[in-house]
Structures are given as structure tokens and as C-alpha cells.
Amino acid sequence: MTREEAIKALEEYRTSIDALDLRLLDLLNQRTRVVEDIGRVKRAAKLPIYEPRREDQVFENITSHNGGPLTPDAVKRIFERIIDEMRTIQRIRMETNADGDS
């Protein structure tokens, strides 16, 4: 492969990555909207934000459906970070709306 061919191939791969990143961003924002809904239900019912059993269910779901090439541990680490951010969003929203502001 020549340098020019490599540069062209890299540009094509990077264009694909950019498009995939935008799709991931859209999905993460969709997930966040659902998490906000969950937070409203939890606030109304005075339920805790952190539910370890539910997180275990999420990890089981994603790792059992993972076909690779990501390892199960890598997938779990990625989702641990996503869940942590979602929990923070729930906490902020619940605190912000605790005064009855909806």
C-alpha cells in the first residue's frame, strides 16, 4: 500500500468513525431522556437513584448479547461509565426538581 492509498483509506475510515460517533451520541441522548423519565418516577415514589440489582441486569444483558470484538470486560467498563453519568443526571434532575419545579 502506498502512502497515498493509506491516507485515502484512513480518511474513509475516519469519516465512518465520525458518522458512527454521531449515531452513538444520538443513542446516548435517547437513553438520557429515558433516564430522566425514570428519575421523575423515582422522585415521585421517593425511590433511591442507585439500584445495584438493576445495574447487574444491565451488565448481564449487554455482555450476554455482545458478539465482539469488544471483550465482555470492555463492554462492562464502557457501560459502567455510561450508567455512572446517567445516575449523575438523575441525581441532578431530582435535586433541581425537588422544590416542585417541573
CA distance 98 to 41: 12
* pLDDT single digits (tens) 11-62: 999 999 999 999 999 999 999 999 999 988 998 999 998 999 999 999 999 9
CB 86 within 8 A of CB 32: yes
* pLDDT single digits (tens) 57-99: 999 999 999 999 999 999 999 999 999 999 999 888 877 776 5
Domains belonging to the chain, first-starting first, are: 3-96 (1.20.59.10)
CB 43 within 8 A of CB 98: yes
- For residue 52, whether the previous peptide bond is cis, meaning omega lies within 30 degrees of 0, is no
CA distance 28 to 3: 36
Say what the pTM is: 0.84
